[in-house]
Amino acid sequence: MNARTERHTVAGPAGAIECAVDRPDSVQGPVRGVALVCHPHPLHGGTMDNKVVMTLARAALHRGWVSLRLNFRGIGASAGAWDEGRGEIDDAMAVLAAREVLGLPRQGLVVAGFSFGGAVASQVAARQAQLGEPPAAVLLVAPAVVNFAVAALPAGSTVVHGEADEVVPLAAVLAWARPMAQPVTVVPGAGHFFHGQLPLLKQLAIGALAASDALNTHPDA
């Protein structure tokens, strides 16, 4: 992300996993925890340096969260090969399990993802809840509800989708969200990759994280 981005490898189920850590400026106050951001489809050019992923990471930094990104198996310096989403969820869980090894806070977690990464992020959030560590916030951008299983989200989660998404139709996301009454923020005219709309997406993400921070600070509100 910048000259201060830390590049690491951690042990994963298919071998080494490449990941990147960015820490918020200390002048912003105490670190809130770790924000895991998952990238889009590995077979279609998705990497942890994707522009939407970077936008979500920057939003997390702005709110005082350490940004943690990873390259799924077979991408960049990560070992292994595409596993149709199953192993990629395991990769993300392995990176979270290595937080202490990476010198990252063990308490406080945000899970976010874009497209395929949104599907992975939803499953990671569900697994973390089963482990007794439900995320403080879940943020999905253009989740790939058409081709992958996107888990039901906890109350207070944020889903952002482009009105003109040419990869994951808005109608499909609304059909997925409707049974659980999950609100969907629609960006008018935006396509799947939010070309020309990344500053707006960042502000939406910052707002969602701010609202989550307030809710977790005042749980009875």
Nearest to 142, CA basis, from 111, 179, 184, 182: 184
34 burial via Cβ count (<10 Å: 0-12, 13-18, 19+): buried
Domain ranges of the chain: 6-212
Portion of the chain with pLDDT greater than 70, in percent: 95
pLDDT value at residue 28: 59
Q: Report whether 14 contacts 94 (CB < 8 A).
A: no
> What is the rounded distance in angstroms from the CA atom of residue 59 to the CA atom of residue 87?
27
Q: Which fold has domain 6-212?
A: Rossmann fold (3.40.50)
pLDDT class for 2, splitting at 50, 70, 90?
confident
Q: What is the pLDDT of residues 93-111, one digit of tens each?
A: 999 999 999 999 999 999 9
Look up residue 18 and give its DSSP letter.
E
Nearest to 28, CA basis, from 57, 71, 64, 77: 64
> What is the rounded distance in angstroms from the CA atom of residue 213 to the CA atom of residue 220?
13
Q: pTM of whole model > 0.85?
A: yes
pLDDT class for 177, splitting at 50, 70, 90?
very high
Nearest to 197, CA basis, from 36, 47, 61, 55: 55
Portion of the chain with pLDDT greater than 90, in percent: 91
Helix (H/G/I), strand (E/B), else coil: 159: strand
Q: What is the pLDDT of residues 28-87, one digit of tens each?
A: 578 999 999 999 999 999 999 999 999 999 999 999 999 999 999 999 999 999 999 999
Residue 221 predicted with pLDDT over 50: no
Helix (H/G/I), strand (E/B), else coil: 204: helix
pLDDT value at residue 212: 85
